[in-house]
Amino acid sequence: MSERTDDLEIRYRWLSIAVVILVGGAFALGLILYVLDRGSGASLQALNAGLLLLMAAPAVRILVAGAEQIRRGDWTFVLLTAIVAAEIGVVLWRASARG
């Protein structure tokens, strides 16, 4: 790996650690609340929050990586990431219109 990639991974390692802690904490809280009172609103909210955090984590990583590549001037990466994000957006938009 190049020095620039290693630098990026080291500088943003805290993001991965924070995601693991937040998702794990939300799931653990939801599980404990569910065991104590099955079907309670608080347990479902904690479990749903854990799922949402788990799904949002890759999007946040892409945004951080994209911002870093803009700062570095890697326009090929930025353009390809924008194209893929637009394609995903169109698919989600079309899927939501059917439901």
Structural contact between residues 26 and 50, judged by C-beta atoms closer than 8 angstroms: yes
Residues 6+ apart with CB under 8 A from 18: none
Q: Domain range spanning residue 55? A: 3-73
Question: Is residue 94 a part of any domain in this protein?
Answer: no
Please report how the helices 41-72 and 13-36 are oriented relative to each other, as an axis angle in degrees rounded to 10. 170
Instruction: Domain count for the chain, please give it.
Output: 1
pLDDT band at 59 (very low <50, low <70, confident <90, very high): confident
In single-letter form, the type of residue at position 16 comes to S
State pLDDT tens for residues 34-58. Answer: 999 888 889 999 999 999 999 988 8
Main-chain dihedrals φ then ψ at residue 38, nearest 5 degrees: -60, 130
